[in-house]
A and B are shown apart, each in its own frame.
Chain A
Amino acid sequence: MSTQIRDKAESSQNTTAKKDYGKSYWQLVWRKFRKDKAAIIGGVVLLVFYITMVFFAEGFAPYQMEHKHINYVNAPPQLPHFVDADGNFHLRPFVYPYKQEMDFATFSKKYTRDTSRTVPIYFFVKGDPYKLWGIFPSDLHLFGTEGDDPVFLFGTDRQGRDLLSRILGGGRISLTIGLVGVGLSLFFGSTLGIVSGYYGGTMDNIIQRITEFLMSFPAIPMWMGLAAALPPNWSSIKIYFGITIILSIIGWGGLARQIRGKVLALREEEYILAARSMGAKNWEIIFGHLFPNCVSHIIVVATLSIPGMILGETSLSFLGLGIKPPMTSWGVLLQEGQNVRTVVQAPWLLIPVLFVVVTVLCFNFLGDGLRDAADPHAQM
């Protein structure tokens, strides 16, 4: 009787809680997540990045990544215009073609805009041939020009390669390396974290000492030391996986600790005790009860640890210890910017920095939103 009264009192006190009845945990999570605008924006931007770069980079890029426009070396970025020099409005965006002059003092090309002509940008044009996902041959590009005048929205590098195309192509490596690396450290981290938290005792002690030990290492010098040890004659694919393994070696420690904490708290819950008294085996409790309850937590930790991996890859490749050309990542693109003199001449080579920062920012926003949403009953 008394419990009924208390229940009534609580439900009338908290009318919002009433709506929660009958909704699943994930429905509640989604409802809360939807309200976080920063997280939604982060998620959408990342989705766009992954679609344009990981899946369809060749199609969204106007040129092939390695296409060298030898006549347009170190060309500055072009801005798409709608209104031409005479003040006429064009529905179709256009760019002004480059006018080149030789600067005989420095023997370098100087580019100016030729405003007497316009180069219209066409959509879905045929250009450099490529194979989509390595299987389907195609030559369709989202946008491009017809005729001899090229379009370089982000300029070109010192070999005359279109920077936009290279950023899109490089994003494929930079964006996936974080996912694969986090996947690996998730596997180790959650297995060891659950085992450590659930069994406790000696096992817990040993695993805790190992993770503490790993976490006491400074990640970047460690990564540098390990990456320098990768044989230089390895193929690109081997280097790619080598780097992801190196990045995840240190990453799993923190994850294991967090999951362990969660499991330690869950272990004392009554439903685990109930399951155990009904004779559930250890593996049944782990996979049937503990793991599903940790999933939301694992997702949050994973989202928040992807940026570290992306930055790790970028810094290693930037130093020439990670991904190496001809494979391209954002770090590789920035490596060309390591020489300050070149970048002062061509500051647009720093545009990849923007992509790195935006990606990391979006992952942080998304992860933060997910963290709040993963605990839908907490009142903010």
Chain B
Amino acid sequence: MLKLGRHAFADDRPLVMAIVNRTPDSFYDKGATYAAGAALERVAQVVEEGADIVDIGGVKAGYGPDVDAAEEIRRVGTFVGQVRAAHPDLVISVDTWRSEVARVVCGEGADLLNDAWGGHDPALVDVAAEHAAALICTHTGGLAPRTDPHRQEYDDVVAAAIADTTAYAERALAAGVARESIVIDPAHDFGKNTFHSLELTRRLGELVATGWPVLVSLSNKDFVGETLGRPTGERLAGTLAATAVCALAGARIYRVHQVRETRDVVDMTWSIAGRRPPLHAIRGLA
């Protein structure tokens, strides 16, 4: 069983996490949902499209103007409460590395803390434990938040991702986060070049074999763009190909911009893998 805050999911169910950016400058949507009204509309839309989780972020992952904790709280704090009120059955995740932000959003009803920067703030696990929230433990290769990789190399990127994420998971467990509420994420592109991200995709089954539920965040990322020579707005097909490979390997959560397409690819692949029955089957069986 996977327990994300107030919500529990059986092990045979893959989950789609929709990205909702309360930022003016994120790479894909470029501020389209910075305003609270637009962001709430985005939440309603992704729920209708089949999202199980929304991942609300107040700070762009890449370089850009500084966003301090107070500004991040201003962007996401009360918004989480608004989403909680409007969608009581929805899992709310917040993409933050800061414990002070995490404490506020958990108070507003967040279920899940998506620490995209791999435990940079050591107190984050304590906030998750205090609020019975779930935690995503990512691998960034030791980079500080909002830093791009430069000449980063690994003896074995998959082994490094497994070592770091599982160590983080054990640290969370020791801090009091429930075992069924801890997820690991190899974090494609974070501290990695395109070859690293392709290898992580190809060998994702090794992360699944750790026994920790695995989240993949592939959506429209640079490794897809570089692999296919596609700009940001033309990476859906490549993203979905990588999604299918990760789904075949058994990834549990898919963090995405395009919910409907991802839902179909993940469900189809899980059915091919024999983990999910077809929705309907009568052809040749009547």
A and B form one complex:
no
